[in-house]
Structure 1
Amino acid sequence: MPLSATRRKHRFTVEFPVNASPKILYPYLASASGLSQWFCQDVRIDEDHRFNFIWDNQPHYAEMNSHRTNRSVRFVFLDANKRHTPDANFLDFSLEESQLTQEVYVRVMDYSEETDEEELQEMWEGLAQKLREQVGG
């Protein structure tokens, strides 16, 4: 692929406190039913165990690339043919607990073509609020 045809990727990281334990939060980050309650329109798992994230009635397939129970999960997005691509978009959710304050933080790393920091910040703040409402925190 010619260099001019490649799209630049952007790594956006945001962290927000959620008043809930990692044990309560983790299913909201790592399961289709949990994610569909706050993250997007719907999330389904297909017969090959791929996650189908639905935004604006459009499917976006991803594989759970790695996970550590009650700690972190990473979704790597696939192309329209449900295949891996080099330098694929991914979403990384990790749960951090402050030893000092006992506060729990959700850290999100969003790696995609979206480069508008302000738009990403607003979007994730809205999603964080929806997550807090779901877990009561």
Structure 2
Amino acid sequence: MPLSATRSKHRFSVEYPINASTKILYPYLASASGLTQWFCQDVRIDEDHRFNFIWDNQPHYAEMSSHRTNRSVRYVFLDQNKRLTPDASYLDFTLEESQLTQEVYLRVLDYSEETDEEELQEMWDSLIVKLREQVGG
């Protein structure tokens, strides 16, 4: 989750099996209404199509910088002036389906100033529990 731009960034990656199809999962990753159900307090989209992620009543603006329907989405976080910065924090959600087992995996890449691996693991584990409850998987 984004903080001020004074510290160096850390790349945290984790993968979760989710018992739901990519078509069911994707809207929970790529829409404001889907994200609000499991990811943070609220997500709104402003008039410039920026996402406003609200954690602890604080706004965090991001742009959806890339997406592939039913496959992946990336949110790049903006500064206080809603501008892109070099080495910006971002979140990457990628859905992968095993051809062998037909299992669906959600890979999360959290590139931010949070460096405590244990804290990040616990945070994502609890978020994924909420996501699985939403999708029934």
The bucket for the TM-score relative to the shorter chain is over 0.9
What displacement does 1:6 show?
4.3
Identity rate of aligned residues, in percent? 86
Tell me which residue corresponds to 1:92: 92
Q: Unaligned regions of 5+ residues in structure 2, if any? A: none
Tell me which residue corresponds to 1:9: 9
Inter-partner Cα distance in structure 2 for 1:52 and 1:63? 9
**TM-score of the aligned structures, taking structure 1 as reference length:** 0.95
Q: Unaligned regions of 5+ residues in structure 1, if any? A: none
The yes-or-no answer on 1:133 pairing with 2:133 is yes
Inter-partner Cα distance in structure 1 for 2:35 and 2:17? 18
Aligned positions of 1:40-55 closer than 5 A: 40-55=40-55
Aligned positions of 1:26-37 closer than 5 A: 26-37=26-37
- What SS does the aligned partner of 2:76 have? strand
Inter-partner Cα distance in structure 2 for 1:68 and 1:80? 28
Tell me which residue corresponds to 1:117: 117
Inter-partner Cα distance in structure 1 for 2:16 and 2:29? 14
Tell me which residue corresponds to 1:82: 82
Inter-partner Cα distance in structure 2 for 1:26 and 1:11? 23
For residue 33 of structure 1, what is the amino acid of its counterpart? S
Q: Which runs of 4+ in 1 moved over 4 A?
A: none
After superposition, the CA RMSD in angstroms is: 0.9
Inter-partner Cα distance in structure 1 for 2:61 and 2:112? 14
How many pairs align? Answer: 133
**TM-score of the aligned structures, taking structure 2 as reference length:** 0.95
